[in-house]
């Protein structure tokens, strides 16, 4: 075997070693990545302290949108409050009007009842007087007149012409008495109006007033009920809007409207127990070689949506604001709140 062939074989062996070493390195790297990913999966499935940091500024779209929503809601609430005040005033006026109408109606009804009693008593008295007058008046007066004229004529105290004139006078008196009877009967009928008899002017006026007041009371009661319902709906709307705007106020975007805020998104699975003053840890290699880098300054109540750090699926949680002593972790991608993920 010559030197040239020997050199070629050595080169081939060298290349083969390099290929083997490179293949082993690739395989080891791939296995390391798989082991590392499995480790991270197990860590994120079991760990309840991780959070995702971010920086919020006044120019971010969501911050501007949140503040615009607050302004719009405040305007709407102010309109509703003004409408509520107007409805309250209208309701108070309608209730006063209803109360006044009810008082007037009660007085008219009492007046009708009192007049009915008075008229009916007068009617009974006039009936008795009329009956007595009829019994003792017309027939008795005619007979007494004839007897008196006859006696005076027979005695020669009066002439026939005088007797005729006197008799004519008596008949005229009797006729007027009949007319008086008719007038009394008319008054009796009028007095019976409020007890169900013929209509009189006084009774018609009182009954008309009563009808008008009854209609006004019914109409005003319906208006009061309508205003009360509208007022209740307005109050419910104010409560609903207030609940919504409270959510916008208790929102990290509201605090970020006039300053930069270092925040962290905490998933619901990890939010239990998180409170102001909890330490925040950052790690040199994401989950190892960790140290304290800040503290939680506020926990917000509004629900937020983000994506899982490892799995990239949509998750819900809440924001916390963080005060860092090392601002390089403000957008590091991953921090831990309350405790380190491991022991180092």
**Residues 278 and 266: beta-carbon distance below 8 Å:** no
Residues 155 and 79 grouped into a single domain:
yes
Q: Quick one: 77 and 212 in the same domain?
A: yes
Q: In terms of domains, do 119 and 236 share one?
A: yes
Instruction: Please indicate whether residue 32 or residue 287 has the higher confidence score (pLDDT).
Output: 287
The answer on pLDDT for 72 being more than 90 is yes
Separation between Cα atoms, residue 81 and residue 92, nearest integer Å? 16
- For residues 243 and 291, give the distance between their C-alpha atoms in angstroms, rounded to a whole number: 40
Same domain, 153 and 192: yes
* pLDDT for res 311: 86
Backbone φ and ψ of 118, nearest 5°? -65, -45
Cα–Cα distance, 70 to 68 (Å, whole number): 5
Full domain range(s) for residue 212? 73-241
The number of domains in the chain is 3
Rounded to the nearest integer, the mean pLDDT of the chain is 80
Nearest to 138 by CA among 177, 165, 169, 172: 177
- 291: enclosing H helix or E strand: strand 290-299
pLDDT at 101 over 80: yes
CA–CA dist 94, 71 (Å, integer):
34
223 and 83 fall within a common domain: yes
Same domain, 140 and 288: no
Per residue in 131-158, pLDDT tens?
A: 554 444 444 555 566 666 666 656 666 6
Predicted confidence (pLDDT) per residue in 187-205, tens digit = 555 555 544 444 556 667 7
């Amino acid at each position: 075997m010559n030197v040239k062939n020997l050199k070629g074989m050595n080169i081939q062996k060298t290349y083969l070693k390099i290929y083997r070493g490179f293949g082993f390195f690739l395989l080891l790297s791939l296995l390391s990545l798989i082991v590392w990913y499995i480790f991270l999966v197990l860590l994120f499935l079991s760990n309840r302290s991780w959070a995702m940091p971010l920086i919020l500024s006044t120019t971010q779209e969501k911050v501007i949108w949140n503040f615009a929503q607050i302004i719009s809601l405040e305007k709407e609430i102010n309109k509703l409050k003004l409408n509520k005040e107007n409805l309250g005033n209208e309701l108070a006026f309608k209730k006063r009007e209803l109360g006044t109408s009810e008082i007037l109606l009660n007085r008219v009804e009492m007046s009708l009842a009192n007049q009915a009693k008075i008229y009916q008593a007068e009617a009974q008295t006039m009936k008795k007087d009329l009956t007595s007058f009829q019994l003792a008046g017309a027939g008795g007066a005619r007979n007494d007149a004839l007897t008196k004229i006859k006696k005076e004529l027979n005695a020669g105290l009066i002439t026939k012409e005088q007797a005729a004139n006197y008799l004519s006078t008596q008949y005229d008196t009797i006729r007027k008495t009949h007319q008086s009877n008719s007038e009394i009967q008319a008054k009796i009928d009028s007095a019976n109006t409020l007890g169900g008899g013929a209509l009189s002017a006084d009774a018609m006026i009182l009954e008309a007033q009563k009808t008008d007041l009854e209609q006004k009371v019914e109409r005003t009661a319906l208006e009061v009920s309508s205003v009360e319902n509208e007022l209740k709906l307005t109050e419910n709307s104010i409560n609903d809007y207030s609940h919504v705007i409270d959510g916008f106020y208790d929102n990290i975007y509201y605090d970020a409207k006039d300053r930069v805020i270092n925040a962290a998104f905490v998933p619901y699975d990890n939010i239990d127990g998180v409170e102001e003053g909890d330490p925040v840890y950052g790690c040199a290699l994401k989950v190892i070689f960790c140290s304290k880098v800040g503290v939680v300054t506020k926990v917000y109540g509004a629900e937020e949506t983000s994506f899982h750090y490892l799995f990239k699926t949509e998750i819900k949680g809440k924001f916390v604001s963080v005060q860092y002593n090392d601002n390089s972790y403000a957008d590091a991608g991953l921090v831990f709140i309350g405790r380190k993920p491991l022991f180092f």
